[in-house]
Structure 1
Amino acid sequence: MIVERAYAHIVSYDTNEWPWSVPCVRSLLADGLRFTAPVTFVVGENGSGKSTLVEALAEGFGLDSWGGSHSWRYASHRAKSALGERIRFDAAPRGRRMLAAWSARTGFFLRAETALDALTREGLAPEAVSHGEGFLAAFRDSFSQPGLYVMDEPEAALSFSSCLELIGHMDQLAKSGGQVVCATHSPLLTALPGADIIEVGEHGMRRTSWRDLALVDHWRRYLAEPHSYLRHILD
């Protein structure tokens, strides 16, 4: 493990103002977020705050919110978010060494919208391959050192079989001493054995199991009988 708990403090805030209006952000401010496994998935509907949360975690570790490693800070020229600049960590021994010295820090923030650009910029994406192939190549060849790897919907560029390959890479990264925090909509990724799953929504944040995830239930029902969903949408 690299980090064991994330938290943020703010003296006062307006609950009608973003990001403080987001329930999972308020949960983070109130109770923090404890990490209990090397791989943590953050799951929720669009607008639930999962991307806001993982981006702030990346920023708190010194990773560029545009996407990239600690050595490419702020390539987007974006200031840290109001939440990201307040994130602090309780770290494991290896994480404390990383947080104490910038040169010792290892990690990467991979977001779906900018993944190929970030990988190409750092020389991690091979030429003449698809977005998804470049993503998996970076995992195979470069994402192997102990560090904090934050991801925002990495499944966006991946096929079914590529998602399964990504699960294998995540598992190997965790076994080699790395830590992954991943926001996702994927029932494939979240099935990784031993992973911790945090479901965010109007309730804030809560731990759950793969079988109890709403997205797993919806996919199971949809694949069994698509018409039961589509009849509400199509004429």
Structure 2
Amino acid sequence: MIIEHAYAHLPSYREETWPWSVPCVRQLLDEGLRFTAPVTFLVGENGSGKSTLVEALAEGFGLDSYGGSHDWRYASPRGKSALGECMRFDAASGRGRRMVTSWSARKGFFLRAETALDALGREGFSPDHVSHGEGFLAAFRGKFLHPGLYVLDEPEAALSFSSCLELIGHIDRLAREGGQVICATHSPLLTALPGAEIIEVGEHGMRQVAWRELGIVDHWRRYLTDPHAYLRHIVEP
């Protein structure tokens, strides 16, 4: 692992303004966020704040919020977010301590679904003549190679079922080789990775849960068993 604790302290803030109005952000300010496994999944509904968290974690580590490697200059016109500016880390031992304390020793990548291929192109890694999903997989195969901090924001957006399974293999390999992955996702496939920590984000803030306790797992299981039980409330007869 690279980091074991993320935290952010502000002398004062207005709770009614974004992002401080988001429950998981307030909990981060109050308690911090501890990582107990090399792979951590943040799961929650749209608007729950999981993407806000992963973006701030990436920025705090020196990764561009637009997406890309640690050693690539900032492309985002707005620079770091207010939360990213005040993000701090306690390092895990060994390699993690070197990366957190030495800017030049840091390795990592921030991948966000909507800018991934453009960010890769800026770094000279442009998989041509392939689908969006295949471009994503080419990124995992070509950029996620060395121990470091890899932050992912909904990587499953462009991937099929089988491609998600391949991604699980890449994430598992990274973790076994000393890397750390923090991933915001809606995918019950990804979150089933054995040994991964799952943090559910919502109005309650943040809490650690088991895979079988996840709302998305329950909903997908029930939907696949009986789609009509859901669709009868949505689609006109």
Structure 2 length-normalised TM: 0.97
Amino acid at match of 1:230: L
Match runs of 1:1-235 below 5 Å: 1-92=1-92, 93-235=94-236
Tell me the alpha carbon deviations over residues 142-189 of structure 1, each in whole angstroms, 9 at most, x when there is no partner: 211010000000000000100000000100011111100000000000
Q: Which letter maps to 1:101?
A: S
CA distance in 1 between partners of 2:192 and 2:178 (Å): 20
Shift of 1:18: 0.3
CA distance in 1, matches of 2:195, 2:224: 26
Matched to 1:112, the amino acid is A
Matched position secondary structure for 1:5:
strand
Larger CA deviation: 39-48 vs 76-85? 76-85
What is the identity percentage for the equivalent residue pairs of Structure 1 and Structure 2?
A: 79
Question: How many angstroms does 1:126 deviate by?
Answer: 2.0
After superposition, what is the alpha-carbon deviation per residue over 1:106-163, rounded to whole angstroms, capped at 9, x for unaligned? 0000000101111122123322112211211221232110100000000000001000
Runs of at least 5 residues in structure 1 that lack an aligned partner in the other structure: none
Secondary structure of 2:151's counterpart equals: strand
Distance 1:73 1:224 in 2: 48
Tell me the SS of whatever aligns to 1:145. Answer: coil
Corresponding residue SS for 2:56: helix
**Residue 102 (structure 1) shift:** 2.0
SS where residue 113 of structure 1 aligns? coil
3-state secondary structure, aligned to 1:83: helix
Unaligned runs of 5+ in 2: none
Paired letter, 2:216: L
Encode CA deviations 1:32-61: one digit per residue, 9 max, x unaligned. 100000000000000000000000000000
8 Å Cα contact 1:152-1:182 kept in structure 2: yes
CA distances 1:79-130 after superposition (whole Å, capped 9, x unpaired): 2111000100000131221122222110000000101111122123322112
The residue type equivalent to 1:154 in the other structure is P
Q: Quick one: distance in 1 between partners of 2:211 and 2:140?
A: 24
SS in structure 2 at match of 1:109: strand
Instruction: Give 1:7 shift.
Output: 0.4
Q: Which amino acid aligns with 1:84?
A: G
RMSD between aligned residues: 0.9
TM-score (normalised: structure 1)? 0.98
